[in-house]
Chains A and B, each alone.
Chain A
Amino acid sequence: KAGVTQTPRYLIKTRGQQVTLSCSPISGHRSVSWYQQTPGQGLQFLFEYFSETQRNKGNFPGRFSGRQFSNSRSEMNVSTLELGDSALYLCASSFFGTGNTEAFFGQGTRLTVV
């Protein structure tokens, strides 16, 4: 079966802009989680969605937001980009949530803010 698909793979944005990243989970999976990966901070949890509802949110500013659609696809948005937002953004899909069942990660979107 198809894996987790994240688009785009690479993005370059300038400070102050906003960006939207997309994640299509594995068919049948209803939970999508988003993580930010940087060399200094490692993998940091952003938020998790299940059946279009946000169930958990990490310690990120309000500039980071997300949503999930009825087909379980999810998007995350970052507004007013800062240089420190440069990172690999990963999404993970699972049946019920990454804390309970095996989670599968996409290849990520590499965001560079200049």
Chain B
Amino acid sequence: GESVGLHLPTLSVQEGDNSIINCAYSNSASDYFIWYKQESGKGPQFIIDIRSNMDKRQGQRVTVLLNKTVKHLSLQIAATQPGDSAVYFCAEKDNDYKLSFGAGTTVTVRA
């Protein structure tokens, strides 16, 4: 698989490999985090969320890891497929009514 230690705007991954997308958040008091996927011409699509009382949560082919010590969030995609090509955003809760979004990582899957 491929991973990025720091947030990078782009990630190229071979089909079938695992992908890891990283995100740093700013508010140590945030207690809710979400990953979104945005395909070209569409709005962001919810992938998975995690609350601060957890450090790991798994979904279908995706896993989110939360490290509150260093304020770091990551999204792991297993067996990356062409349909996973998109921009991925992490978001943190600012308050009950507002999310702050990261800059986004563009994932390109190579056949």
Q: Chain B's interface: helix, strand, loop or mixed, by majority?
A: strand
Binds B, one of A65-73, A74-82, A97-105: A97-105
The answer to whether B32 touches A100 (Cβ under 8 A) is yes
| A21 in contact (CB, < 8 A) | no
The answer to whether A33 touches B49 (Cβ under 8 A) is no
Q: How many A-B residue pairs have CB under 8 A?
A: 68
Contacts of B44 in A (CB 8 A): 43, 90, 92, 105
Q: Chain A's interface: helix, strand, loop or mixed, by majority?
A: strand
What string of 1s and 0s marks CB contacts (under 8 Å) between B30-48 and chain A?
0010101000011111100
Interfacial residues, chain B to chain A (CB-CB below 8 A): 32, 34, 36, 41-46, 49, 89, 91, 93-104
Interfacial residues, chain A to chain B (CB-CB below 8 A): 4, 6, 31, 33, 35, 42-43, 45, 48, 50, 55-56, 58, 90, 92, 96-100, 102-108
